[in-house]
Structure 1
Amino acid sequence: MGESTSSHEARARGPRLIALAGPFQCGKTTLLEAIVAHAGAIPRQGAVGDGSSVGDASAEARAHKMSVEANVASVDFMGDRYTFVDLPGSVEFSHEARNVLPAVDAAVVVCEVDERKVPALQLTLRQLEELGVPHFLFLNKIDATTIDVRHALTVLQPASRTPLLLRQIPIWNNGVAVGFIDLALERAYVYREHAPSEVVEIPKGEAATEREARYSMLERLADYDDALMEELISDIEPPRDQVFDDLTKELRAGLVAPLFIGSAERGAGVTRLLKALRHEAPGVADTRARLALKEGGPPLARVLRTVHTPHGGKLSIARVLRGALADGQTVVSTHGEDRISGLSRLLGPNLTKVSEAKEGDVVALGRLEHVQTGDTVVADGRADGAALETRAPVPDPVHAIALAVKDRKDEMRLAAAMAKLVEEDPSLVFVHDQEMSQIKLYGQGEMHLRVALERLQSRFGVAVEVTKPSVAYRETIRHKVTVRGRHKKQSGGHGQFGDVVLEVAPRGRGEGFAFSERVHGGAVPKQYFSSVEAGCQDAMTHGPLGFPVVDVEAVLTDGSYHTVDSSDMAFRTAARIGMSEALGKAEPILLEPVLAVNIFVPSDAMSRATGLVSGRRGQIMGFGPREGWEGWDRLEALIPEAEMDNLIVELRSATAGSGFFQARFDHLAEVVGKQARDIVAAHAGHPARAAVG
C-alpha cells in the first residue's frame, strides 16, 4: 500500500461533517446527545424520552417520540470542529438523507443485534455504499444484550456489501458488558456513566479472546496490504502506526466498515468513537474529490435542508465545500441570485450568529429566497453549471390523502403554507385535482403526511379535514349503435338548426377517441364537421354512468342543414344530443385504473406480500430475487388503484418497516356486478343504476 504515514499526519484537517444514520429506534438521537455532552457543548446528557434532547426538538418529533427531520449539531472536540447530522431512521422520513449524505465526510451507522432490523440496516448501508461514503458502525445498547459480539457480525454482515471489521470486543461481568477492549490499541477500558471510560489492564480471562479477535482484524486488513500479510505469515507483530494507517486508508477507500460498540444512553464508548472519527474519518478535501468538485474556484456550498422559522424567515442549512462564505455575500444557484442575510451555527434548534463560514463548516444561511434543498450555491457570481446540478432525485410518493379546509377563509392560506412545507420537504406533493375537485397531498407514508398536517396547523394555523382520494373512473360502451341528433329552435329572427346521424362504436382499450365522416351529397356541409366532432367530445365529458367516456369512435354518416338557421353551435349541440343518446343505448360499462406495482420485500416476508396483493383484487404477474440485493425479493403485480389505499402501511407492518413499492398506471379494466353498481351509486348519490354490470 505504499509508504506508511503516521495516523496523526494522515488526520484530516478542518471542520468535518458526520452523518448519524441507521434503522428506526436504534438510538441515533441518543448518540447525538451523548456526543454533544462529551464534547462539552451541553452541561449534561438529556434524554429523548423526556423531551430534553438537543435533537428531536420539534413539536412533532417530541409528540411522536421519533425523528421526523434531520437534526444538526456543531461541536468542538480536542480542538477540531465537527458537525453531526442525525438522520431519521423511519423509512417514511428517509428522504431527508438524500441531499445530506453526498456532502458528508463519513457516517456512523447506529445499529443493534436484531435480525428484524437487518433489512432496514441494509437499506441504509446500500445508500452509503452507492454514494461512496466511508462509514463506521456503532453497535448500540451493548449493555442490554448478551449476544457475543463476534456472533453479531454474522447477523449484521448480510446487510453490508462492505466487509465489517470488528474493532472492539466487550468485557463481560456476570453477563453484563462493563467495558471493552480496543483491538487496534490493545487496551482495555471500563465504562463510566456519562464520562470517558477508564483504562485498565486487559483481564486475564479475556486475553486469549482479544488475541484471536485482533488477529482476525489484522487478517482482514492484510487482504489489502501485502506487507502486513507477510508480517502475519512470519509471526511479526506489526507496528501500531502501521495498523492505524491501514485502518484509515481502508476505511476511506470503502474497503472495510469498522464496528465499534457502546451504549449511547449511558454515554459508554462515545469517547473512543469520537477519537476514531478524529484520526480516521476523511475531511472536506476528500469529499470534494468524491463529488468531483474542482480544488480551485469560488466558494461553494451545498444546501442540506430548508427551514422556515417563525421569526428568522427562511434558513438554508448548507455545508461549505470550498472556500469561505461571509454574511452579506452574493451567491448564485440554478434558480437565481441571492444575498446572504445572516450566518448561524447550529446546535439542534439553537442558532449562534457567526460572521463567516469556513471551508467544511455547516451553517444556516439566511433568506436565500431562490435557493432550494439540494441546490449548490456559488459565491462571487461565477457559477459552474456542472457543479450546480447536484440535487438528489425525489422519491415517488406511496401514500395519498385528500384535504379540505375547515374554514373556507383558509383556502388561500392553505396553498401558501403548503408551498413552504413542500420547499422544506420536496418529497411532499401538493396538487389541485381539477377533475376530481379535490386537493390532494402525496407523501411517503401515513406518519409522513400526519406530521405535515400537524406542521400545517401548528405553524401556519390552517386546520383541514382528511378524506380518501377519489379514483379517476372512466366508462366506455360495449356495442355499436346508430342515432340521430337533432337540434331545432326558433325564437324570432334566425333560428338554430342542426341535424346529424352518428354511428358510435367501441374502440380497443387505450385507443382513445376517434372521429371521422362518411357524408355523401353534402347532407352536412364540410364546414360543420369540426363542430360535430366537438359536440361528440362534449357528451363524453360526462357519460351515462357519470364518468368521462373513453375509447369510442363516432362516424358522421348523414344529416341535414338549413341555409339560414344552421351554424357551428347548432351542429355542435345536435352532435352532443346524438352522442349522449348513443352512449346510453350502447350498454355503458365502468372502467377503473389498474396500476403496475413492483413490491420489494425481505425474502421471509414474501408470503405476506402476496397475501396483501391477493386481498386487494390484485393479479400477481411474477416474482423472484431482487437483483443485487441479498435476502430480498421482488413481486410484480397488477392492482386496481381503488385498492391501493394504505397498502404501504400494511406492507411496512409486514416487513418491520423496510418493504416498499413503486407503482405506475398500466391500463383501464372493466368493473362488473355489485361493485360497479355501488361505485356508480356513490358517485351519483342515489341508488345504483341497474344498467351497470
Structure 2
Amino acid sequence: MQEIQTRDQDATGGRGRRGPRCVAIVGPFQSGKTTLLEAMLARAGAVSRQGSVGAGNSVGDASAEARAHRMTTEVNIGGAEFLGDAYTFVDCPGSVEFLSEMQPVLPVVDAAVVVWDGDDKKIPALQLVLHELEAQAVPRLLFLNKLDTLTRSIEEAIAALQPASAVPLLLRHMPLHRDGSPVGFIDLALERAFLYQDHAPSRSAEIPAEAAEEERAVRYAMLERLSEHDDRLMEELVEEIEPERERVFADLTHEMRDGLAVPVLIGSALNGHGVGRLMKALRHEVPDVAETARRLGLAAQGQPVAQVLKTLHTGQAGKLSVARVLDGVVQDGMSMMASSGQTARVSGLVRLMGMATQKVAEAIAGDVVGLGRLDAVATGDTLSLGKLPPTLVDLPSPRPVMALAIRARDRKDDVKLGTAVRKLADEDRSLALASDGGLILRGQGELHLRVAAERLASRFGIEVSAQPPQVGYRETIRKAVAAVRGRHKKQSGGHGQFGDVVVDIAPLPRGEGFVFEERIVGGAIPRQYISSVETGSQAALRKGPLGFPVVDVRVTLTDGSFHTVDSSDMAFQQAARIAMIDALPRCAPVLLEPVLAISIAAPTEATAKVNAIVSSRRGQILGFDARDGWPGWDVVEAQIPEAEMADLIIELRSVTAGVGTFEASFHHLAEFVGRDADQVVAARQAAV
C-alpha cells in the first residue's frame, strides 16, 4: 500500500512539477468522449459537477449546432489541474464527417485517450482514428467505456477490436462483477482492487479471493506481452521470479510512449467509474511537451514556438488562433512569424474552457491558448518569434465528397454570404468554397454541409437555400457542314456595320477542344479581321443548340467580303456568330456528360455492396484491390457519370458503417443519349 501512495504522490521521479500536458480525447461517434471529458473535469475539480450532453449543460458540445444534433461538431477544449499537474483536454469529433477537426490536433498532443464502448459496429470508424494516431506516432491508450452496458467479456471485445490496431492492445484492468454487474476492477500493474463509487474516487480494496486465480492468469498474460521488449523481465518470468512493481510500470510507460502497445483501461464515464485511475495513468505515463516537440523534429532552444491547431472567429473579439506552445514563452503583444512567412502581432491571449475564455498575460511551453487577431495565420501554421519557423506539421487538404449550390434567401445578404462562408472555411479546413455560376460549398457529407448552413444562420444571420450543383454538361457535333455564310449588315446613318464570312465546321476527336483555321486568299477579308472571326466563333460555342457549351469543334474560315468603311472587328465577330448559330443545328449535335474517375475506399465486407452501388449509378467498375496499409479494407476503382454523384456519399456510408469515402476527378466526356438525355435538354431549355 505504501508503494501505491508513493507512486500517486510523486509522478515526477523527484523532478518537481511537470509542464502542462495536452491530451486528445478521440473515438467513434457516440462512444462517450464528451461525457468522459466532463467526468475528468469534474474529478479534477475544474467544474463543480459533471455536466451532461443530454441536459445541455456540458463544457464540451456547447455550440448551438452540437447541442441541436447531440454530437461533437468541432473540437472542445477544457483545462484542469490534477494532483498538482496541469492538463489541457481536447475533445475531438467522432463522426467521419468532422474527423478533419482532429488532424491538426493530433501532432501537438502528448497522448490520446481512445474511447470505445465495445460496439462492433463502430470498429471501422475506430480504425480511422487509430490509423491517424499510428501515422502521427501519438502515444495512446484505450478507455473501454460503458462497462455497465457491455454484453460480453472484455477479452472478447478486445479480440474483436485487435485487427483494427496495428499494435497489440494490452489489458491493464480486470473487471469485478457482482450479480452480473460491474462493481469495480483490479489494476493488474498495482495488483490492487478498486470498487466503484458513483462520481467519486474508487475505493481501494484487497483482491477478492474468488478472483485471485483469474487475476494471476490475466496479469501473467500482460507481463508476457511486456517481456517481448524486456529480456530481464522475460528471464524473471521463466524463473518464476515476481518482477518489481516499478519495473512493470516502467515497461508499461515505455511500451505506450514508443507505440509498442496500447494499454486498455475500463470504466463508465457517465457514472464516473474508472476515471480517477485513467487520470493517474495519464499523470504517470504520458510524456511532456519536450518529448512531443522532439517527435515533431523541434530542437528546444528556449525561443517561443507554437503550433496552431484550431481557428475560431468569435464575433466582435475577432479571429482567435488556438495554439499549443511547444517551446519558450509566448506573451501578449508579441510579434510572431508564421511558417507561411506572414508576421502578425498577438492581440490578446486567452485560456479556453469550452465556450468560455479567460485572459492571461503569457503562456509557457505546454500551454494551449488562444492568440488574438492573427489574421494572416491559418490552422496548421507554426509560429515563432522574429524568424521563419520550420513547418512542423504537414496537413493534407481534405478531399470533398459532397457539394451544394447555395444562395442567400434574402438578396440583401448576397454580398456578405461569401465573406461568411470564407470565415467558416478558415475555421474548418474540410469546407471549400468554389464559384461556378454561383457559390458552391463543398464538404465531407450531408450533415457536415447542413451544420455549415446552420452556422451561417446562427452566427452570421444568413439563411441560405441549397440544392445540388449543376452538372457540367457539354455538347458536340457529329457531322461536318461546309460553306456556311454569315453576313452582318446594318445601316443607321453615318458609318454602318458590315461583315461577311464563309466557314466550314467539323467535329474533332474528344478532348481536342476548339481549333480555328483560315484559308483566305486574295485578301477577301483583311488580316486584322480574321482574329475577330475566331473570337465570334468561340462566343457562339458558349451555348449550342441543346443549350450547353459546345466542345471539340474545328472552324475553318474559307471566304468572305468586307466594306472599306463599314467593316469592323465587332461586325466580323457578329457575322461569325450568325454563321455558327445557323450551322450548328445542322451538324448533328449530341449531348456530352462528364464522367469521373473515382476511387472508393471501404471495409472489405462492404465491397460487394459498393460494386452494386456503382452499377446502379450507370458506373463502370474497373477493378478493386486491397487498400495499402489498411488491413481489412479495399479500394474500388470505377468511372461514374457526374450526374450520378450528388448523393453517392450518403448511400456509400449507409453500407459501410459510416466510414466509406472516395476521391474523384474528371476523366472524360461521354456521349449521352436516350430518354434521360432528352430530359436534361428539355429541362435546360425550359430554364432558359
For the criterion TM > 0.5, the same-fold answer is yes
CA offsets 1:618-675 (integer angstroms, 9 cap, x no match): 1111112212211111111111111111111111121121111111111111111211
Moved more, 677-686 or 556-565: 556-565
User: Retained in 1: the 8 A contact 2:28–2:122?
Assistant: yes
Cα displacement (A) at 1:420: 1.6
Q: Distance in 2 between matches of 1:678 and 1:76?
A: 65
Cα displacement (A) at 1:563: 3.6
1:35 aligns with one of 32, 40, 45: 40
Equivalent residue letter for 2:344? D
CA offsets 1:313-339 (integer angstroms, 9 cap, x no match): 222111100011112222222252222
2:3 corresponds to: none
Cα displacement (A) at 1:686: 7.0
2:555 corresponds to: 554
User: Retained in 2: the 8 A contact 1:7–1:245?
Assistant: no
Q: Is the counterpart of residue 200 in structure 1 residue 205 in structure 2?
A: yes
2:282 aligns with one of 271, 277, 285: 277
Q: Is the counterpart of residue 646 in structure 1 residue 650 in structure 2?
A: no
2:109 aligns with one of 104, 107, 112: 104
Q: Distance in 2 between matches of 1:351 and 1:69?
A: 17
Equivalent residue letter for 2:442? Y
Cα displacement (A) at 1:478: 0.7
Please give the residue correspondences for 1:147-226 in structure 2 after superposition, counting only pairs within 5 Å. Answer: 147-226=152-231
Q: Is the counterpart of residue 473 in structure 1 residue 478 in structure 2?
A: no
RMSD across aligned positions (CA):
1.8
CA offsets 1:523-551 (integer angstroms, 9 cap, x no match): 33333221221111011011111111111
2:489 corresponds to: 488
Moved more, 605-614 or 355-364: 605-614
Q: Which runs of 5+ in 2 are unaligned?
A: 1-6
2:379 aligns with one of 359, 373, 383: 373
Please give the residue correspondences for 1:228-247 in structure 2 after superposition, counting only pairs within 5 Å. Answer: 228-247=233-252
Q: Distance in 2 between matches of 1:413 and 1:557?
A: 51
Q: Is the counterpart of residue 536 in structure 1 residue 537 in structure 2?
A: yes
TM-score under structure 2 length normalisation: 0.96
User: Retained in 2: the 8 A contact 1:598–1:636?
Assistant: yes
User: Retained in 1: the 8 A contact 2:597–2:665?
Assistant: yes
CA offsets 1:8-58 (integer angstroms, 9 cap, x no match): 439892110000001110000000000000001111111111111111011
1:441 corresponds to: 441
User: Retained in 1: the 8 A contact 2:402–2:647?
Assistant: yes
Q: Distance in 2 between matches of 1:178 and 1:341?
A: 51
Please give the residue correspondences for 1:653-672 in structure 2 after superposition, counting only pairs within 5 Å. Answer: 653-672=654-673
Q: Distance in 2 between matches of 1:520 and 1:137?
A: 82
CA offsets 1:59-116 (integer angstroms, 9 cap, x no match): 1101110000000001000000000000000001001011111100100000122221
Q: Distance in 1 between matches of 2:524 and 2:192?
A: 102
Please give the residue correspondences for 1:404-419 in structure 2 after superposition, counting only pairs within 5 Å. Answer: 404-419=407-422
CA offsets 1:106-156 (integer angstroms, 9 cap, x no match): 000001222211111111000000001010001111111131111122111
TM-score under structure 1 length normalisation: 0.95
Please give the residue correspondences for 1:568-607 in structure 2 after superposition, counting only pairs within 5 Å. Answer: 568-607=569-608
Q: Distance in 2 between matches of 1:396 and 1:153?
A: 32
1:342 aligns with one of 348, 353, 358: 348
Q: Distance in 2 between matches of 1:81 and 1:162?
A: 29
2:457 corresponds to: 457
Equivalent residue letter for 1:209? E
Q: Distance in 1 between matches of 2:658 and 2:621?
A: 22
1:691 corresponds to: none
Q: Distance in 1 between matches of 2:75 and 2:571?
A: 62
User: Retained in 2: the 8 A contact 1:496–1:565?
Assistant: yes
Q: Distance in 2 between matches of 1:405 and 1:216?
A: 62
User: Retained in 1: the 8 A contact 2:541–2:551?
Assistant: yes
Cα displacement (A) at 1:593: 1.0
Q: 1:686 to 1:49 in 2, by over 3 A?
A: closer
Aligned residues: 677
Q: Distance in 2 between matches of 1:157 and 1:247?
A: 18
Equivalent residue letter for 1:176? S
Please give the residue correspondences for 1:10-49 in structure 2 after superposition, counting only pairs within 5 Å. Answer: 13-49=18-54
1:398 corresponds to: 401
Q: Distance in 1 between matches of 2:649 and 2:24?
A: 27
1:513 corresponds to: 514
Q: Distance in 2 between matches of 1:390 and 1:229?
A: 39
2:13 corresponds to: 9
User: Retained in 2: the 8 A contact 1:193–1:266?
Assistant: yes
Q: Distance in 1 between matches of 2:316 and 2:571?
A: 61
Q: Which runs of 5+ in 1 are unaligned?
A: 688-693
Equivalent residue letter for 1:609? V
Equivalent residue letter for 2:144? L
Cα displacement (A) at 1:391: 5.2
User: Retained in 1: the 8 A contact 2:407–2:466?
Assistant: yes
Equivalent residue letter for 1:347? M
Q: Distance in 2 between matches of 1:489 and 1:47?
A: 78
1:430 corresponds to: 433
Equivalent residue letter for 1:218? L
Secondary structure of the corresponding residue to residue 269 of structure 2? coil
CA offsets 1:351-381 (integer angstroms, 9 cap, x no match): 22222211100111222222222211112x2
User: Retained in 1: the 8 A contact 2:296–2:393?
Assistant: no
Equivalent residue letter for 2:397? V
Equivalent residue letter for 2:350? S
Moved more, 635-644 or 333-342: 333-342
1:61 corresponds to: 66
User: Retained in 2: the 8 A contact 1:10–1:279?
Assistant: no
Q: Distance in 2 between matches of 1:104 and 1:286?
A: 10
User: Retained in 1: the 8 A contact 2:26–2:115?
Assistant: yes
1:497 corresponds to: 498
